[in-house]
Structure 1
């Protein structure tokens, strides 16, 4: 169980960081594990992620679906200098 949770955390952080790098508006992003064990990925883009409908054979566009499935209750927060995606992996 613990190994599954570690792998899930890695998957979700990887997804959020990939999106920060790919879609972020600047050169910086941060990953923070908060005291309550929520994980937060921040980037400089003010553009908020959105749930998309994608074709079955599409190679991308499922990040928010993944968050909904694996981190229900995730949050997208607007900040003064961009946005943050904050989540607590399912089973934590």
Structure 2
């Protein structure tokens, strides 16, 4: 199914809006096919927060979120105006930030970034999957 999108202001409140929107879209699109997959919904909610927060804090406007729901997986793509790709950073235990991409790296089934389609900015995406028998 084609993805839907949400355009957000580049401000901290956008994170909560994006998180709720992505979760509602997943529940609506997947419905009974994803029964019992709260772990996937939790991961989508958490990782959407992390990637949108990075776009707001480290990226540049405009920020746009797309969600694609399919049997067996959900893919979330966050577009922002900065060409700088995300990277996993080493942080010490006393750091209060900088763990978002590391969290995406551990929790997502796959993730990455690519240049924006218009040649400006970038798209950071992640995919959360569940086993074929649960589709």
Does the alignment reach a TM-score above 0.5?
A: yes
Superposed CA offset, 1:41-63 (max 9, x none): 11001111111111112111112
Q: Structure 1 residue aligned with 2:126, among 73, 87, 92?
A: 87
Paired position in structure 2 for 1:39: 76
Provide the secondary structure at the position in 1 that maps to 2:128. coil
- Alignment check: 8 A CA contact 1:38 1:88 kept: yes
Q: Considering fraction of residues, name the structure with more helix.
A: 2
1:9-66 deviations in Å (ceiling 9; x for gaps): 100000001111111123x111101355311011001111111111112111112211
Please identify runs of 4+ aligned residues in structure 1 that moved more than 4 A.
none
Following superposition of structure 1 onto structure 2, how do residues 1-92 of structure 1 map, counting pairs within 5 Å?
Answer: 1-26=36-61, 28-34=62-68, 36=70, 37-79=74-116, 80-91=119-130
**Rg: which structure is higher?**
2
Corresponding residue for residue 5 of structure 2: none
Task: List alignment gaps of at least 5 residues for structure 2.
Answer: 1-35
TM-score, scaled relative to structure 2: 0.61
Structure 1 alignment gaps of length 5 or more: none
Give aligned pairs, total.
91
> What do you get for the CA RMSD once the two structures are aligned?
1.7
TM-score norm. by structure 1 comes to 0.86
* Inter-partner Cα distance in structure 2 for 1:48 and 1:13: 17
